[in-house]
Structure 1
Amino acid sequence: MFDEEAILQELSFKAIRSSGSGGQHVNKVSSKVELTFNLRQSLVFDDEQRERLLEKLQTRLTKDGVLILQCGESRSQHKNKVIIIDRFLELIKASLIVPKKRKPTKVPKAVIRKRLKNKRIHSDKKANRKKPDID
């Protein structure tokens, strides 16, 4: 599929301060991790894979083709980095999956006959509820 070690070399990380309330600790520690990956300049993927990724991730990419992910779930910068790497790899793997082509199946004749028979029975049942014509 792709070389995970090579793709990890192309990632760049930046530690930033987490948002929200917290107190003294949150004002001096940069525990939130931001991952950036330039998809257009990546050497890991071939042209077909790159096109598939650009198509699948178009809503998450910047105009320059850069994917930006952030994680501030943990108070530890190291844990956030591990979480964001796992999330990134899962996103890439899921985007590279080629869906199987659907083969349309033919409806069996027995099923068609059964449906028409049930329609006829239902129709006769409704017709028998009417008052008979006296002409």
Structure 2
Amino acid sequence: MPRPSREIALAERMERLGILEDDLEERFIAGSGPGGQKINKTSSCVSLTHRPTGIEIQCQQERSQSANRYHARMRLCDRIESDRLSRKAEAARLRAKKRYQKRRRSAGEKAAMLRDKRKRSEKKSSRGKVSRDD
């Protein structure tokens, strides 16, 4: 039986992300919520666990089990992708923070800082007691 193009695209995406079918633990459970007899009788809800990362996805979006399997795998790919992107962004943020911490002040900034310090010192010293040398 030929596979639909969306399943082929999903398989390619999983391969690109390094997700192996052997790493997935899949269980079919009865769904919850509205649906009456159909929900109570069928185990169309898919619970998918990715063992290496511990990510667990549950999907009961559709009525059919095969559609829920597809959607659960798509959600897993989305989640792993977003986790990797957030880790990458965090690493870039930390590198930038280090770079800014190591950066020295420019000559103009130093001069302005020292000028402000002198001004503040003069202001505070003028608050002292008045001498009667007149």
TM-score interval (norm. to shorter): 0.5 to 0.7
| Long gaps (5+) in structure 1 | 40-60, 62-66
CA contact (8 A) 2:29 2:43 kept: yes
TM-score, reference length from structure 2: 0.53
Corresponding residue of 2:122 = 124
Aligned length: 105
CA offset at residue 38 of structure 1?
Answer: 3.6
CA contact (8 A) 1:17 1:26 kept: yes
Q: How large is the Cα RMSD of the aligned pairs?
A: 3.5
Structure number with higher relative contact order (C-alpha < 8 Å, ≥ 6 residues apart): 1
The structure with the larger Rg is 2
CA offset at residue 22 of structure 1?
Answer: 3.7
- Moved runs in structure 1, 4+ residues, more than 4 A? none
CA offset at residue 18 of structure 1?
Answer: 4.0
TM-score, reference length from structure 1: 0.52
Trace 1:26-105 onto structure 2 (pairs within 5 A). 26-39=39-52, 67-72=54-59, 75-76=61-62, 77=68, 78-91=70-83, 93-94=84-85, 97=88, 99-100=91-92, 101=95, 102-103=98-99, 104-105=102-103
Distance 1:81 1:113, change over 3 A: same
Distance 1:87 1:129, change over 3 A: same
